[in-house]
Amino acid sequence: MSVVQTEIDRFLGSSAVPLYVGGSWTPARGGAAFEVRQPADGSVLAVVASGDGADIDDAVTAATRAFPEWAGRSANERATLLHRYADAIEASAEVLANLESLDVGKPVKDATGFDVPFAAKAFRYFADLSVNVRRSQPLPVEHIEARQVQVPYGPCGFIFPWNFPFLLYAWGVAPALAAGNTVVVKPAELTPLSTLYACHLAAQVGIPAGVVNVVPGLGRTAGAALSQHSGIRRMSFTGSPEVGRAVAQEAARNLVPCKLELGGKGAAVIFDDVDVGDTARKLAGAITLNTGQVCCTATRWFVHQNVLDELVSEASKALSEISIGPGDDEATTMGPLVSETQRQRVLGYVDKGISTGATALLEGGAVRPEGHEGGYYVRPMLLAGGPDNVCAKEEIFGPVAYVIPFRDEQTVIGSVNSSRYGLANSVWSGDLDRANRVAERLEAGNSWINAHNVFAYGLPYGGVNLSGYGGGVNSPETLFDYLRHQTIARPLS
Ligand code: NAD
């Protein structure tokens, strides 16, 4: 058995993986636990303690106790610890990537090449930003010596979805911790393992007890308790608009500010002056990344009539060459969906779309790779039809794209903007003036040019309309989201 597998087995243990609260590993107070399944074959991967309101209460108490000491440290000291945390993540990259692959289903090579190193970088980026931020700003006010200081809020609550658990954990907590807040995290019940392993690394590098607390549990128990807790000073949620709305409403009852990063129905607008083969391959890559379970991915393809047939043909070829299998197989380029429920959701959407007028340009459906018959696999699909079809409008969250032809620039802008979502779109054209012009007119948090799914630290990422509320990640503004203003004033008699 490999060293990595031995470490994963040690971590998952023979009984329920406990909660991490106040620097201690502890069973859930109510004794409940839930099973976590491997998407690759449907078998039970781990049993995890299932926290409820009492555990959330303990975690908020621990985060409240730890706050003054953590906030009182210099930005430098916190940044040094966060760099050590990033060091530890990098040193454990193989374990984390394998754990993420087992839990989410994604290829190990994707988790190794992207999720884990990019997560480590989040801690480095916000650590460095935080030491260079001016925390006290003199105010030019008549007859008053005045300044505005920026201070952390206190315990911050985080609720995360299952699709990129480790990366989203880092995107969320890194700015909050760098700013001097403490955190209580509720990971998704489908994929809590890498977040729990991250607690082990936090303890290893000396992040003080109570600064990071993780309470896995169900949404309606642990998640609801966290969003309702009056001891939380700032709430952040990533997930579906439906649950986001409920979380924001609960936080609002306590007048706790809340930011939401939500779903999407991203479009790619493809003009007729592109390299069609290259564009088709990149879009095929976009919709199969993480088996299409990507909030911002290109799910609506608006293709100029002149290149429609060629693009569909090239994309179908690229999608047919995708190698579907378990994440630990080197040959796999697309893993399973995260759960049987998710598979039924994806297939259900496609059935409904086809029964209401959509046609399949590339047929997909369930697939059962030999030796992995219990896994949650589907083949990628291309659909076409009218703009009002359910598959053109709703978030499917699987490897499915919906193709709609267009002829002119003005019309396609209106079609893209008819979506209630507003997370991310892309424009593909050899004419950069046109690409920039169209990119600016698309109503979303992000418009990418000649690429889809573009991420970098320093590049703000967030959504509007159904895709986001008061939020955004990955930029200096994100650090400021976790600092509140305080005015200090002394009248000069
Ligand atoms: P979800 O909304 O069902 O669940 C998200 C989290 O909320 C989970 O931890 C869940 O346990 C918790 N939850 C469920 N009910 C709750 C309640 N009543 N109170 C409090 N918490 C509750 O989303 P999901 O299915 O896990 O993830 C998929 C969604 O996330 C998609 O819509 C996707 O687009 C979105 N997403 C958005 C971003 C972004 O950055 N904008 C990133 C990743 C995923």
Tokens matching residue 390? 């359910």
Best residue among 167, 193, 218, 240 to mutate for probing ligand 1's pocket (most ligand atoms within 8 Å of CB) is: 240
**Percent of the chain with pLDDT strictly greater than 90:** 98
| Residue 441 neighbours by CB under 8 Å, 6+ apart | 413, 417
Tell me what pLDDT residue 267 has. 98
Residue 327 has pLDDT above 90, yes or no: yes
Q: Which amino acids bring their CB within 6 angstroms of ligand 1?
A: 159-163, 186, 188-189, 219-220, 223-224, 227, 238-240, 243, 246-247, 261-264, 295, 395, 397, 423, 463
Q: Ligand 1 centroid vs 240 CA: distance in angstroms? A: 5
Q: How far apart are CA 259 and CA 236, in angstroms?
A: 5
Cα–chain-centroid distance for residue 325?
Answer: 23
Whose Cα sits closest to atom 35 in ligand 1?
Answer: 239
Q: Mean pLDDT of all residues in the chain?
A: 97
The vertex-228 CA angle with 472 and 82, nearest 5°, equals 45
Catalytic residue numbers, as ranges: 261, 295
Residue 386 has pLDDT above 80, yes or no: yes
Inter-CA distances, 268 with 94, 105, 163, 416, Å: 34, 26, 21, 9
What is the per-residue pLDDT across 343-374, written as a single tens digit (0 to 9) for each?
999 999 999 999 999 999 999 999 999 899 99
| Residue 202 neighbours by CB under 8 Å, 6+ apart | 85, 211, 212
Q: How far apart are CA 217 and CA 189, in angstroms?
A: 6
Q: Ligand 1 centroid vs 188 CA: distance in angstroms? A: 8
- DSSP 3-state of 329: coil
Tell me what pLDDT residue 10 has. 95
Tell me what pLDDT residue 471 has. 85
Report the candidate in 171, 174, 165 with the shortest Cα–Cα distance to residue 197.
165
Whose Cα sits closest to atom 8 in ligand 1?
Answer: 188
Whose Cα sits closest to atom 3 in ligand 1?
Answer: 240
Tell me what pLDDT residue 493 has. 87
DSSP 33-49: EEEEE-TTT--EEEEEE
Whose Cα sits closest to atom 9 in ligand 1?
Answer: 188
State which amino acid sits at residue 433. D
pTM of the model as a whole: 0.97
Q: How far apart are CA 225 and CA 221, in angstroms?
A: 6
In degrees and rounded to multiples of 5, residue 84 shows phi and psi of -65, -35
Tokens matching residue 473? 């990640």
Best residue among 34, 118, 163 to mutate for probing ligand 1's pocket (most ligand atoms within 8 Å of CB) is: 163
For 320, other C-beta atoms within 10 Å of its C-beta total: 11
Furthest-apart CA atoms within the chain: distance in Å: 83
Residue 22 has pLDDT above 80, yes or no: yes
Residue 23 has pLDDT above 80, yes or no: yes
- Contact of 446 with 423, CB cutoff 8 Å: yes
Tokens matching residue 207? 């992040």
What is the per-residue pLDDT across 405-419, written as a single tens digit (0 to 9) for each?
999 999 999 999 999
Q: Ligand 1 centroid vs 452 CA: distance in angstroms? A: 22
Strand ranges of the sheet holding 424-428, from the earlier edge strand across to the other edge = 359-362, 381-384, 400-406, 298-304, 266-270, 424-428, 446-449
- Contact of 467 with 163, CB cutoff 8 Å: no
Q: What mean pLDDT is predicted for residues 23-28? A: 97
